[in-house]
Structure 1
C-alpha cells in the first residue's frame, strides 16, 4: 500500500510514518517504479508504536518491541529485550519523579523564604500557581481567530529573551521551533486580575510552563530545535518565572504586541491589563508557520499534546 493509505489506516500523519522510517522501525519495500510499498506488517508495527507511546515509551525507544514482532512473536513484549526496555522505562520514570519531587521541594522552600522576606504578613496564604488547575474552569471555544496562520512566514521581528539574547523570529533557522504564547504568569503572593478564572483560557500559564519544562527533553528528542514562551510582560518579570520554575528554555518579551500586529493574533483585556496575548502555540519550520494549536485547554497538559503532534 502507498504511504497515504497506510497513514489513513493507522490514523497517523504521513510525517509520523516518515519519522518511524527514519528510526528504522518501518522498512517498506519498493515497487518497480521506486515508490515505497507498505505491508500489513508495517501497519501492525505502527499500531504497536502508537500503543507504546500511550504508555509513555517514546518511538525512539520502541526498537526492542518492533524487533520482537519482526522475529515472529505474537506480542511485542515477549522478548527479553522488550522486558528490559520496560524496566529501563520504569527506572527512568522513578528517577524523573524523584528528581522533580526534590526540585519542587527545594523550590517551595526557596519560595517560602523569599516570600517571607518580600511580602508582608497581611498578604496571607500564598497561592502556588504551578499546582493543578482549579475545577470548573470555563473552556475556551474556537472563534476562528487563528485560522489564517498556517502557511504564513514569520515576520522579521527581534524580541528580547530572558537569557540575554535578541531572537530574530524571521531567522529561527531550519528545524522546528515551538513558540507558545500565554497571557500572564502569576507571581507568588500577588493576586491575579479580578475575575481571571472566569476568562476562558486565561488560567494556567505557570502550569503550562511547567509542562513544557517537563517535556523539553522529549521534544528535543523528536527534533524540536527551539522552545520559547512568549508574552507581553517585560524580560525582568519573565526572568523571575524562568528562575522560579527552573525552565530549561527562554521566554520572549513582546511588550508592544509587535507579533500580534504582524500576524493578527488574538488578544484580550483583563482588569488592570488593556491587552494580553490569548493562549496559542505556533510550530515554525524554515521560517513558516506549519501548525497552530488554538484554543488550548487544559494548558497543564498542552506540552504532551504538542509532543503527540510531532510523534503520535
Structure 2
C-alpha cells in the first residue's frame, strides 16, 4: 500500500509516518519503480507507536516495542527491553512529580507567609469574616457516598498532625474519637476558590472548628476521648488555624488523600484542588461506629454530635 493509505488506516498523518521512518521504526519495502510499499505489519507498528505516545512514551523511545513485534510477539511489551522502557518512563514521571510537588510546597509556603504579613502604608480592604456564615448557602444533599462507612475498620495510616505528634488512625483507642473532615479553612487575607459559597457544603470550616472548640469540654464529658479535624491542607497551614482559632485539639493533615482512598470517602474539586467533602466519623475501638453526612449547617455541628452522643451513651 502507499504511504497515504497507511497513514489513513493507522490514524496518523503522512508526516508522522515519515518521521517514524527517520527513527528506523518503519522500514518499507521498495517496488521496482522505487516507490515505498507498506504492508499490514507497518499499520500495526504505526498504531502501536501512536498508542505508546498516548501513555507518554515518545516515538524516539518506541524502538524496543517495535523490535518486540518484529520478533513475532503478539504484544509489543512482552520483551525485557519493553519492560525496561516502562520502568524508565515511570522513574522519569516520579522525578517530575517530586519536583513539581516540591515547587508547589514552596509556593504554598510563600503564599501563606505573604498573606500573613502586614503591608505598611498600603491600604487594604477588610478581610472576609470566615467565622460566620452568610445567608442563602445551598444545602448539600445526601448522595449516599457515606452509606458504606459504618462498621468499617479504620486503615493503618499514620498521618501528621498540627501538634507534631502524628496519629495512627487504626490505633485511636477503645474509647470514642470524633474525626471531622472538612474541605479547607479560610484564612484572613487569602481568597477562597471562586464560587466557593455556591458549592453545597463547602463554606463554614472555621465556624465548624469554633463550634467544636466551644463544646470540646462538653464532648469530653459525653465520653469522647479525642477530637480531630482532618483536611488535605498542609500541617503548617493547619497549625496556624489551631493557633489563630485557639483550638484545644489537633488537626490532621492528609494532602495525598490517603484516608479517602482507604475508605472510599467523597471528595470534590474546587480551585484546581481536590478537597474532602464535609463529614464526621465517630470511631470506637478502631471501627467506625457512626457517620454524619451530609452536614448542614456546619456552625452547629458539634451540638449535633453531642445530641447523638446523649442518645447513644457509651
What is the TM-score when the length of structure 2 is the normalising length? 0.61
Whichever of the two has the greater Rg, that structure is 2
Written as runs of structure 1 = structure 2, the 5 A alignment for 1:1-312 is: 117=118, 121=122, 123-130=124-131, 132-273=132-273, 275-312=274-311
Distance (Å, rounded) in 1 between the aligned partners of 2:205 and 2:308: 21
Equivalent in the alignment of 2:37: none
| Aligned positions, number | 197
Question: What is the Cα-based RMSD across aligned positions, in Å?
Answer: 1.5
Q: How many angstroms does 1:117 deviate by? A: 2.1
Distance (Å, rounded) in 2 between the aligned partners of 1:141 and 1:291: 18
Distance (Å, rounded) in 1 between the aligned partners of 2:202 and 2:263: 21
CA contact (8 A) 1:172 1:287 kept: yes
Q: How many angstroms does 1:188 deviate by? A: 0.1
Distance (Å, rounded) in 2 between the aligned partners of 1:292 and 1:264: 13
Q: How many angstroms does 1:271 deviate by? A: 1.7
CA contact (8 A) 1:123 1:189 kept: no
CA contact (8 A) 1:211 1:302 kept: yes
SS in 2 for 1:154: coil
Distance (Å, rounded) in 1 between the aligned partners of 2:271 and 2:116: 24
Q: How many angstroms does 1:120 deviate by? A: 7.9
Distance (Å, rounded) in 1 between the aligned partners of 2:309 and 2:149: 19
- Any unmatched runs of 5+ in structure 1? 1-113
Equivalent in the alignment of 2:35: none
Q: How many angstroms does 1:121 deviate by? A: 3.8
Distance 1:199-1:286 versus aligned 2 partners, 3 A rule: same
**Segments ≥4 residues shifted beyond 6 Å:** none
- Any unmatched runs of 5+ in structure 2? 1-114
Task: State the Cα deviation string for residues 246-288 of structure 1 (Å, max 9, x = none).
Answer: 0000000001000000000000000231x10000000000000
Distance (Å, rounded) in 2 between the aligned partners of 1:124 and 1:194: 18
Distance 1:209-1:119 versus aligned 2 partners, 3 A rule: farther
Q: How many angstroms does 1:166 deviate by? A: 1.7
SS in 2 for 1:296: coil
Equivalent in the alignment of 2:38: none
Distance 1:294-1:119 versus aligned 2 partners, 3 A rule: farther
Distance 1:190-1:213 versus aligned 2 partners, 3 A rule: same
Distance 1:299-1:119 versus aligned 2 partners, 3 A rule: farther
Distance (Å, rounded) in 1 between the aligned partners of 2:165 and 2:250: 9
Distance 1:229-1:120 versus aligned 2 partners, 3 A rule: farther
SS in 2 for 1:149: coil
Distance (Å, rounded) in 2 between the aligned partners of 1:120 and 1:279: 40
SS in 1 for 2:150: coil
Q: How many angstroms does 1:231 deviate by? A: 0.2
Q: How many angstroms does 1:128 deviate by? A: 1.9
Distance (Å, rounded) in 2 between the aligned partners of 1:256 and 1:201: 21
Q: How many angstroms does 1:199 deviate by? A: 0.1
Distance (Å, rounded) in 2 between the aligned partners of 1:119 and 1:157: 44
